[in-house]
Structure 1
Amino acid sequence: MKSVLEVRDLTKQFVKDDLGIVALRDLSLEIEEGRFVTVLGRSGCGKSTMLNMMSGLMAPTSGVVRFRDEPVTGPRTEVGYLTQSDTLMPWRDVRRNVEMPMEIKGVEAKERRERAADLIERVGLTGFGRHYPRELSGGMRRRASLARMLAGGPEVLLLDEPFGALDAQLRFELQAELLRLWQGSGQTVVFVTHDIEEALLLGDRIVVLGRIGRVVLDKAIDLPRPRDADELRVDPHFVALHKEMADALRETR
């Protein structure tokens, strides 16, 4: 299967108080088209730095990111990025937030409205299109952010612990929603998390990162879809995979 996104010998160093701080060193990774890849790692291992460079928002110190064999030198419409923080425009209501990527691409107003209405319905926000971000719960803002990312029609979705700040039940609902939206879309997903169960529930493949981006484990996940979290928790194969991931994370200390 062809790689849609590739990082080769990726290194990022920041300078603080005249000291060089290495956030990522010599990371190489290929992301195959149409796959759901979960990147699992502890805080501080370089996961977010990796996504920032994959998205083109941050330049590497050395190494290269390629999208379909072309070097990534800045943000591109084929790659959508949902960060940990809330980036909805506070002065725009939900509908106009979702329309924003289409405005940038020059899509006509009528088509924008129709597409935005469809996405708002698909993420479970019907009736909230005229609400502003301040009027929404945290979970609803995450849904709106997901709809906005999808509105641009990206080929690759980069998600940086998008549900980490939510309560367990809401996180489960949005995980299921994301899988429903992804399945059959042909899109490629790179989903960063520190939660083993989330990584197993979502991913076709799990990449475990250690300190400064060292790949500790890279494993295909053969759990059948659709996946039900309650059923998986008592599945012997899931339990064995969970232990393997936990052991790999312990190596990253």
Structure 2
Amino acid sequence: MTAVLEVRGLTKRFVKGDADLLALRDVDLTVPAGAFLVLLGRRGCGTSTLLNLLAGLTLPTGGEIRYRGAPVTGPRVEVGYLSQHDTLLPWRDVRRNVEMPLELRGDPAPHRERAARELIRRVGLAGHEGRYPRELSGGTRRRAMLARLLAGGPETLLLDEPFSALDAPLRAELQADLLRLWQGSGQTVVFVTHDVDEALTLADRVVVLGGLGRTLLDTPIPLPRPRDPADPRFTTLRRALSAALL
């Protein structure tokens, strides 16, 4: 299968004044096209730093990242990034927030509006087009941000703990929504989480990272979707991932 992202010998240091923090060292990773890869690790192990590097938001100190064979030297239009933070523009309603990538691309207004309304419908927000972020619940804002991410038509989605601030029932709803939108799309997903059950619910492959981005476990998740946490195979994989994190 063709590799979309290739990481070789990746190292990242943050230097500020006399402080020199080594965040990642000699990380290797390959992400095939169409995969749903979850990076699982404890807080502070460098998963978010790695995702920022994959997105081209920061540059490595050493090693290289390639996207479809080309060096990553900055953000790319083919790659969409969604962080754990709320990034909706408060002065725009839902529709105009979702339209923003199309507006930046120069698409005509009628096309932007049609495309935004369709994406809003697909993420389950029909009827919320004219509402502002301050009027939305946390889960509704997440759905609006997901619609805006998809509006740019990225072929690869980088998601950094996008549901971590939500309660368990709402998180489960959004996980199901994300899988529904991804399946059949041909898109590649790299998803960061610290939650073992979330990793098992979403991924077709999980890479467990330790300190400095060291790979502790790299395993496929050969379970049919939707997945049942009561399935003995789910339980066995949960034990394996949890043990790798210790």
**Which of the five TM-score ranges fits, normalised by the shorter chain?**
over 0.9
| 1:55-134 correspondence to structure 2 within 5 Å | 55-134=55-134
Distance in 2 (alpha carbons) for counterparts of 1:12 and 1:96: 37
The answer for unaligned runs of 5 or more in structure 2 is: none
1:193 counterpart letter in structure 2: T
Residue 248 in 1 paired to residue 244 in 2?
A: yes
Q: Give the structure 1 partner of residue 9 of structure 2.
A: 9
Distance in 2 (alpha carbons) for counterparts of 1:110 and 1:218: 46
Q: Give the structure 2 partner of residue 225 of structure 1.
A: 225
1:131 to partner: Cα distance: 1.0
TM-score (norm. length: structure 2): 0.98
Q: Give the structure 2 partner of residue 41 of structure 1.
A: 41
1:6 to partner: Cα distance: 1.2
Distance in 1 (alpha carbons) for counterparts of 2:229 and 2:117: 36
1:16 to partner: Cα distance: 3.2
Any idea what the Cα deviations from partners look like across 1:94-132, whole Å, max 9, x if unmatched?
A: 111101111111211111111100110111111111111
1:103 counterpart letter in structure 2: E
Residue 237 in 1 paired to residue 237 in 2?
A: no
1:199 counterpart letter in structure 2: A
Q: Give the structure 1 partner of residue 173 of structure 2.
A: 173
1:17 to partner: Cα distance: 4.0
Distance in 2 (alpha carbons) for counterparts of 1:73 and 1:104: 21
Q: Give secondary structure in 1 for the equivalent of 2:206.
A: strand
Q: Give the structure 1 partner of residue 149 of structure 2.
A: 149
Any idea what the Cα deviations from partners look like across 1:204-242, whole Å, max 9, x if unmatched?
A: 000000001000000011001232xxxx22211111100
The answer for unaligned runs of 5 or more in structure 1 is: none
Distance in 2 (alpha carbons) for counterparts of 1:105 and 1:120: 19
Q: Give the structure 2 partner of residue 206 of structure 1.
A: 206
Distance in 2 (alpha carbons) for counterparts of 1:144 and 1:106: 21
Any idea what the Cα deviations from partners look like across 1:28-55, whole Å, max 9, x if unmatched?
A: 1000000100110000000100010101
Distance in 2 (alpha carbons) for counterparts of 1:36 and 1:90: 31
> Identity, % of aligned pairs?
64
TM-score (norm. length: structure 1): 0.95
1:194 to partner: Cα distance: 0.4
1:72 counterpart letter in structure 2: V
Q: Give secondary structure in 1 for the equivalent of 2:181.
A: helix
How many equivalent residue pairs? 246
Distance in 2 (alpha carbons) for counterparts of 1:204 and 1:43: 22
1:81 counterpart letter in structure 2: Y
Q: Give secondary structure in 2 for the equivalent of 1:15.
A: strand
Q: Give the structure 2 partner of residue 21 of structure 1.
A: 21
Q: CA RMSD in A?
A: 0.8
Q: Give secondary structure in 2 for the equivalent of 1:134.
A: helix
Q: Give secondary structure in 2 for the equivalent of 1:56.
A: coil
